[in-house]
Amino acid sequence: MRKNWLLKAGLVLASAGILAGCSGESKAEGDGTVNLGILQLMDHESLNASREGFLDVLEDAGYIEGENLNVDYQNAQLDQSNLQTMSERLSGQNDLILAIATPAAVSLANVDQETPILFTAITDPVDADLVASLDAPGGNLTGTTDAGPLEEQIALLLSLTTNPTHIGIIYNSSEPNSVIQGDQATELLEAAGVKVVLKTVSSTNEVQQAMESLAGDVQGIYVPTDNTLASTMGSVKQVAEANKLPVVAASTDQVKAGGLATYGIDYYELGRQTGEMALEIIEEGADPATMPIQSSEVLELVVNEEVAKALGIDPASITVPE
């Protein structure tokens, strides 16, 4: 992003030369132009950060939108019918497609079995039937998983409560990623001798009421990497602060938007990681079928100092239990 124009120009020319040399193996046009489709489930900070990180890697490598990169960006705004229409629009029209979140990837996989498709912000691509295995995807899809260090996150949540007996978990039950994480978190909490109070929602309109329902019954709340909750962390924050409840969320972006803390992934960096995979396909002709699914290479402790102070917690005292 911070390259001078001479360096960018050099990268563009170098990239074009590489692509021309690869001929049929490359996923770009003969003139070095790459046609990229992007299908994103909805707008919220984590998914947007993934897209930005992905595009920044391409730009760093010399692929400049409007010059040698054409981007067809589609956002379904959490509407399944939009996903279907947009998937059909992108299918067969691009050298490469990026799917952001599980429903977007599933929708694309249903209509396009030829175009290389990279995905990101997906917890379990095997369970979603997107790939045969993490090591050998086997089809035209591969990418990065946002599965985080759940054990550390649950340990962090328990350390932020005093003698916890009941912990709440809240997510959208129609999101497969969230169900998987919710089940895993439940197992960890019950193994720690804590009872789980589960609340599920089906839309953003239900989040505040569900949070208020949890508030009187629990000493803390865990939020998975759920798209519905990620877009309503303001409501989560409001209820949590009013009831002095620590909320540990699965992603750093969710914490920045209203949670208390997490030890988790940075979606921008995850997007960059996915972008590096894109370069392997574009420039080296790599086959998604043989490209293993990658996990986040960047994990960090993030504390929302504003929320911590509102709960009467010293931000500096929050650490990940060993």
pLDDT in tens, 9-54: 333 333 433 333 333 345 555 678 999 999 999 998 999 999 999 9
Residues 12 and 142 both lie in one domain: yes
Contact 208, 178 (CB under 8 A): no
The residue to which tokens 């996150």 are assigned: 153
* Nearest CA-CA partner of 148 in 262, 63, 232: 262
Give residue 90's Cα distance to chain centre. Answer: 21
The answer to whether residue 322 sits within a structural domain is: no
Q: With respect to residue 154, please indicate whether it lies within any of the assigned structural domains.
A: yes
Pairing of strands 299-303, 261-265: antiparallel
Nearest to 230 by CA among 101, 106, 318: 101
Closest CA to 157 of 44, 270, 310, 264: 264
Residue with tokens 């929602």: 201
Q: Identify whether 99 is part of a domain.
A: yes
257 and 270 inside one domain: no
- One domain, residues 88 and 18: yes
pLDDT at 6 over 70: no
Residues contacting residue 303 through CB under 8 Å, at least 6 positions apart: 255, 260, 261, 315, 318
What is the model's pLDDT at position 22?
35
Q: What is the mean pLDDT of residues 144-162?
A: 95
Q: The pTM is what? A: 0.82
Could you tell me if residue 31 is inside a domain? yes
Assess whether 71 and 172 both reside in one domain.
no
pLDDT of residue 27: 57
Helical segments of the chain, H only: 5-22, 45-60, 80-90, 102-111, 150-159, 176-191, 207-215, 227-230, 233-242, 252-256, 267-284, 305-310
Instruction: Look at residue 100 and tell me if it is in a domain.
Output: yes
227 part of a folded domain: yes
Burial of 239 (0-12, 13-18, 19+ CB in 10 A): buried
Are 84 and 118 in a shared domain? yes
Q: What is the per-residue pLDDT for 106?
A: 97
Boundaries of domain holding 306:
150-265+300-317
- Do the domain assignments include residue 15? yes
Beta bridge partners of 170: 199
pLDDT band at 95 (very low <50, low <70, confident <90, very high): very high
Closest CA to 178 of 144, 225, 220, 146: 225
Q: How high is the mean pLDDT of the chain?
A: 91
- In this structure, the answer to whether residues 259 and 125 fall within a common structural domain is no
- Indicate whether 258 and 134 sit together in one domain: no
Q: Looking at the domain assignment, is residue 189 inside a domain? A: yes
CA angle 229, 274, 51 (to 5 degrees): 50
Distances (CA, A) of 100 to 37, 42, 121, 144: 11, 9, 6, 10
Residue 181 CA to residue 250 CA, distance in Å, equals 9
For residues 287 and 161, membership in a common domain is answered with: no
What is the pLDDT at residue 30? 60
Q: How confident is the model at residue 5 (pLDDT cuts 50, 70, 90)?
A: very low
For 184-225, what is each residue's pLDDT tens digit? 999 999 999 999 999 999 999 999 999 999 999 999 999 999
248-303 pLDDT tens trace: 999 999 999 999 999 998 999 999 999 999 999 999 999 999 999 999 988 999 99
166 and 126 inside one domain: no
Give the model's pLDDT for residue 176: 87
Q: Is 214 found in the same domain as 112? A: no
Domain count, the chain: 2
Asked if residue 250 and residue 208 are part of one domain, the reply reads yes
Same domain, 83 and 202: no
Share of the chain above pLDDT 70, in %: 91
Phi-psi region of 168 (alpha: psi -120 to 50; beta: other; left: phi over 0): beta
| CATH code for the domain in which residue 258 is found | 3.40.50.2300
CA distances from 9 to 122, 150, 226 (A): 34, 43, 40
The β-bridge partners of 265 are 251, 299
